[in-house]
């Protein structure tokens, strides 16, 4: 469901059909050409009058009997008048005017015969007029003129005419019965409540003005991609029932200098003319980046566009009920002038949905899909931590595609689970063949992760262990939390690092060698250990210190000039602490696996046989080995 878009500029003056169609114009042109042929032919006959065309031999016979009074010779064309009309085969008299043509081989005695019989002879130069010549000279100009006119109408209908390049390119949305409203947006109740205040102000501004309150001129929606920022904007358009102008930040930019600023002026002028109204700018960071930043300096055209937008935001009058709504997933790179009070002075965070929100989102996206009766949305929501609304929609869509591919009439838990694995782990590499030795190594590696996880107290439950090769791995041990977690204890993080190193520990202790398969495990374990030391103050020697710096993007140029805020000696201590954390976690993993060696072998052998084990099967195998 979507709002109905309308063009904001002079739509009433446009043709109902938009730009002229090529086929319609060509048909009209052919009709004009045919009319020209008919006209020219009739025009010629009009001047010819009632003329009878006779054969050359008949003409010579009439000359011989003295019935020809005068002739006019024009090239090979001979016209003239007779003394008496020629009587036809039916007895009817013909016309006194006649027309005939010289034969191609000529007649050298013609002039002598005409003079001998007293015929008045006139000569004229051969006429250059011909219908074919007219068409060859006129029709190409008509075609070129028609094509230029067609191109002009087409570019004008698309708003790309050179004369309208600086005009507002935003789409105007008006409320329809199919419009999206807040009831169609599941979860994020706090965000909807915040935006509802804007709707209420646009509907009843007097209630706020009596108390001296003013609604923010700019509202910035901030959140990761896929969390529903644009959907919220569409819902706001459906709820407000006022003109809603929607445009992307990239639509302001053009190859011509000054076009962006011109479009900003045009957009705000149109919005003010239809006040109260809402302007929605998607991907604000494409034009709102910090001015003068980057290795090569600022982008002059983008900065001029931003300057114009800042001016328009400040230029609102007190009685101007126009609100600017913008969305971005990069608030850290926006120019500070945009975020100060009086411009985008209210920030609404649209974060990843919680467990409750995911449940509501799944219900919305699943209401039009044929699901089997045992599909449990609550269980799916628990198994998709960190998924955004777009991710959940894609999950159910992938499950529907899998069900259709398998010839099923409804979507089951198997299809949803397979779709989730596809999104998280990638496609199965069906043409990838591992040797027996590689399968054994991968089995022990994943079994090491699983056995260590089962024997630690604060780790997340195991959902699945597989040695089926996928895009990003040759095997996976998948753990899913029982609930959303926002704070992580030191014990939890250390146990997580220990589980990550369990695969390498199993290789070393039971295979007798180590492989490159632990690359991602080592990278993630090192990253967590470094954050424990630098950011979270969780090391023994450097506790209560946050030595890490905020992350900056290279394209902003901040990394070039950033200097470390601690000494070389402290840097050495940081490295020592990170290594100490990793070494202790690795030793703990080795100790667990040696103690539970029987369980490790059972799980590894079961993986070699089945290639995939569920969490309950892992728990049963470990319990049976005690």
Beta-sheet strand order (sheet of 97-101):
52-53, 97-101, 77-82, 68-74, 120-124
E strand map for 256-350: 277-282, 322-328, 344-349
302-324 residues labelled b (16+ CB within 10 A) or e (exposed): bbbbbbbbbebbeebeeeebbbb
Is residue 478 within 8 Å of 462, Cβ to Cβ?
Answer: yes
Which is it for strands 344-349 and 322-328: parallel, antiparallel or unpaired?
Answer: unpaired
Is residue 60 within 8 Å of 113, Cβ to Cβ?
Answer: yes
Cβ neighbours of residue 27 under 8 Å, at least 6 residues apart?
A: none
Half-sphere exposure of 616 (CA within 13 A, CB side): 0
69-75-76 Cα angle (round to 5): 75
Catalytic residues: 446
Alpha-carbon span 347 to 219, nearest angstrom: 6
Backbone angles phi, psi at 198, to 5 degrees: -65, -45
Backbone angles phi, psi at 411, to 5 degrees: -100, 130
Nearest to 530 by CA among 588, 495, 573, 565: 573
Is residue 387 within 8 Å of 423, Cβ to Cβ?
Answer: no
Nearest to 451 by CA among 221, 615, 257: 615
* Matching residue, tokens 């199993």: 506
Alpha-carbon span 86 to 51, nearest angstrom: 12
Cβ neighbours of residue 413 under 8 Å, at least 6 residues apart?
A: 372, 374, 375, 376
């Amino acid at each position: 469901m979507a709002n109905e878009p309308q063009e904001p500029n002079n739509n009433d003056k446009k043709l109902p059909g938009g730009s002229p169609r090529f086929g319609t114009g060509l048909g009209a042109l052919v009709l004009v050409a045919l009319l020209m042929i008919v006209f020219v032919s009739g025009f010629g006959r009009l001047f010819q009058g009632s003329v009878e065309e006779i054969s050359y031999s008949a003409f010579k016979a009439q000359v011989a009997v003295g019935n020809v009074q005068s002739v006019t010779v024009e090239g090979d064309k001979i016209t003239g008048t007779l003394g008496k009309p020629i009587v036809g085969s039916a007895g009817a008299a013909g016309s006194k005017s006649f027309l005939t043509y010289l034969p191609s081989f000529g007649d050298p005695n013609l002039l002598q015969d005409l003079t001998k019989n007293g015929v008045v002879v006139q000569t004229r130069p051969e006429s250059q007029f011909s219908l074919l010549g007219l068409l060859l000279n006129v029709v190409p100009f008509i075609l070129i003129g028609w094509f230029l006119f067609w191109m002009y109408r087409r570019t004008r209908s698309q708003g790309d005419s050179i004369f309208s390049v600086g005009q507002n390119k935003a789409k105007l949305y008006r409320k329809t019965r199919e419009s999206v409203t807040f009831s169609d947006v599941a979860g994020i109740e706090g965000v909807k409540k915040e935006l509802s205040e804007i709707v209420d102000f646009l509907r009843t501004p007097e209630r706020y003005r009596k108390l001296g309150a003013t609604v923010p001129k700019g509202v910035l929606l901030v959140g990761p991609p896929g969390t529903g920022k644009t959907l919220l904007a569409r819902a706001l358009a459906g709820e407000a029932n006022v003109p809603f102008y929607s445009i992307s930040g990239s639509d302001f930019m053009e190859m011509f200098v000054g076009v962006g600023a011109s479009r900003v002026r045009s957009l705000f002028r149109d919005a003010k003319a239809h006040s109260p109204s809402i302007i929605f700018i998607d991907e604000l960071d494409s034009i709102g980046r910090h001015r003068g930043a980057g290795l090569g300096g600022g982008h002059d055209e983008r900065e001029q566009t931003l300057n114009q937008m800042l001016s328009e935001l400040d230029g609102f009058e007190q009685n101007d009920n126009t609100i600017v709504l913008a969305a971005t997933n990069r608030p850290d790179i926006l120019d500070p002038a945009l975020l100060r009070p009086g411009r985008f002075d209210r920030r609404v965070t649209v974060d990843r949905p919680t467990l409750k929100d995911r449940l509501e989102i799944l219900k919305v996206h699943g209401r039009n899909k044929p699901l089997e009766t045992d599909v449990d949305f609550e269980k799916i929501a628990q198994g998709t931590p960190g998924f955004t609304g777009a991710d959940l929609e894609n999950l159910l869509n992938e499950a529907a595609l899998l069900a259709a591919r398998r010839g099923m009439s409804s979507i089951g838990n198997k299809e949803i689970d397979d779709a989730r694995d596809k999104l998280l782990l990638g496609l199965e590499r069906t043409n990838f063949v591992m040797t027996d030795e590689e399968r054994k190594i991968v089995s022990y590696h994943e079994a090491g992760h699983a056995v260590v996880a089962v024997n630690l107290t604060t780790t997340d439950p195991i959902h699945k262990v597989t040695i089926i090769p996928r895009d990003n791995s040759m095997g996976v041990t998948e753990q899913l939390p029982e609930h959303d977690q926002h704070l992580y204890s030191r014990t939890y993080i250390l146990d997580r690092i220990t589980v990550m190193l369990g695969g390498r520990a199993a290789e070393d202790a039971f295979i007798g060698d180590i492989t490159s398969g632990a690359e991602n495990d080592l990278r993630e374990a090192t990253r967590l250990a470094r954050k424990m030391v630098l950011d979270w103050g969780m090391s023994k020697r450097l506790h209560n210190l946050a030595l890490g710096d905020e992350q900056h993007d290279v394209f902003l140029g901040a990394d070039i000039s950033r200097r470390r805020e601690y000494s070389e000696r402290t840097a050495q201590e940081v490295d020592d602490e990170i290594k100490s954390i990793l070494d202790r976690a690795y030793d703990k993993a080795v100790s667990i696996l040696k103690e539970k060696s029987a369980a490790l072998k059972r799980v590894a052998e079961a993986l070699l046989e089945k290639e995939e084990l569920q969490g309950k099967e892992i728990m049963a195998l470990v319990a049976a080995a005690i």
